[in-house]
Amino acid sequence: MDADEIIESVIRALMCLAGILGNNWLAISSLPWKKSGIRTNEALFINLAVSNLITNYLVDLPDTMADFAGRWFLGETFCGVFRFCADLSETSSIYTTFFISVFWHQKLVGSLKRGGAPVQLDSLCMVGCLLAGSWTVALVFSIPHFFFVAVEGANESHEDCVDVFPNALARQTYEIFYLTLANALPVAGIVFASIQIVITLLQNQRRIRGHNSDPAKENAKDENKSTENRNDERSVSANSGPGTSKDPKDSAALNNIYTGVPASSCPNEGLFGHSSHSSKAGAQPNLSRPSQMPAKPSSSSSTQVRAAKSVVAVASVFLVCWLTHLLLRITNNIHTSSIVLEVASYIAASYTCIIPYIFLHGVKKLSCSCKR
């Protein structure tokens, strides 16, 4: 092996090790540690981790060993297993990422716009059916790889595990259906869900800024009103003359005398008369202040926002990796190249070793403690 091949093999080995560590960490931290049972997001994370671990153990690890050996040395039987597991785990991982994106978009909308209302996808039964369907689709597309494979090479020192279809038409038909149903459709769904998450987050941020600016304006208005009231009181006291009594009871008695109404005829004057209106007018701004203050975001809402942001980050990495992977697969159908396939395998491996850490950070599980 020359220096370039050694460097590539070492990089591939480090990516494989990071993927094994991160996906095991995600699976273990998502296991239910309480008697309440497993939750929907935990089931999705566990399924994603299992899908990626199939890639790490049965695809990336054998491929890394073959890189260090310089040729495929695991035989034709394991070559079929290798190709079968590659598409099985890849399809399941893509669909699970799509389900996670849709789930967290619904949770975010339910938390920020509907006051924590339940969402449709927050059901273990429904999620279980969706995951079972994704594994079925992955199995259907992976079975041909178990049979149409061969170990080819000019000599024993350059053997490689490749797909061998009966003819070019069968290969193109399979690739068209596979790339459309197992790649293009879920990728489009992930893009749409991610855009909706970003729009929801921006709308919520704009709403919070609007709430924060309203109380400041109301406080300024209340201060102006209180200043005007104090000035009015001063002018009234100055114009009332020296005979005006400072005692409220005396003032009330004088008013009764002037109006001709005896003091005993209005026992509820202080509650329903003019003085009550003035007291209500002075106290009304103070009573309305608490209702005008924006409610502090709850811990559940902040958790949904943090998880949604991690989903957007995962979607960004996903699009960079899988769109490039998709283009390389399409290019390989036009012109078969071992270099293109090698680059595509590296991109797929980079995705499986990055996303578990992003999800762990998003749900605040990027720690060694398993307590909840």
Note the pTM of the prediction, 2 decimals: 0.70
Mean pLDDT for all residues in the chain: 74
Is residue 252's pLDDT more than 70?
Answer: no
Mean pLDDT in residue range 252-275: 41
Mean pLDDT in residue range 18-32: 92
Is residue 341's pLDDT more than 50?
Answer: yes
Angle at 54 between CA 50 and CA 59, to 5 degrees: 160
Sorting pLDDT into bands at 50, 70 and 90, what band is 262?
A: very low
- The pLDDT tens digits for 76-122 are 888 999 999 988 998 999 999 999 989 988 888 776 766 666 778 88
- The pLDDT tens digits for 276-302 are 343 434 444 444 444 444 444 455 667
Q: Round to the nearest angstrom and report the end-to-end CA distance of the chain.
A: 49
Q: What does the pLDDT read at residue 12?
A: 85
Paired tokens of 180: 């459309």
Q: Are strands 160-163 and 149-152 parallel, antiparallel or unpaired?
A: antiparallel
Return the CATH fold of 3-209+298-362.
Answer: Rhopdopsin 7-helix transmembrane proteins (1.20.1070)
Longest Cα–Cα distance of the chain, Å, equals 122
Sorting pLDDT into bands at 50, 70 and 90, what band is 310?
A: confident
Is residue 273's pLDDT more than 60?
Answer: no
Weakest-pLDDT range from 195-209, 261-275, 315-329, 349-363: 261-275
**Any idea where the domains of the chain sit in the sequence?**
3-209+298-362
Of 9, 102, 92, 101, give the one whose Cα is nearest residue 53.
92
Of 11, 1, 57, 2, give the one whose Cα is nearest residue 343.
11
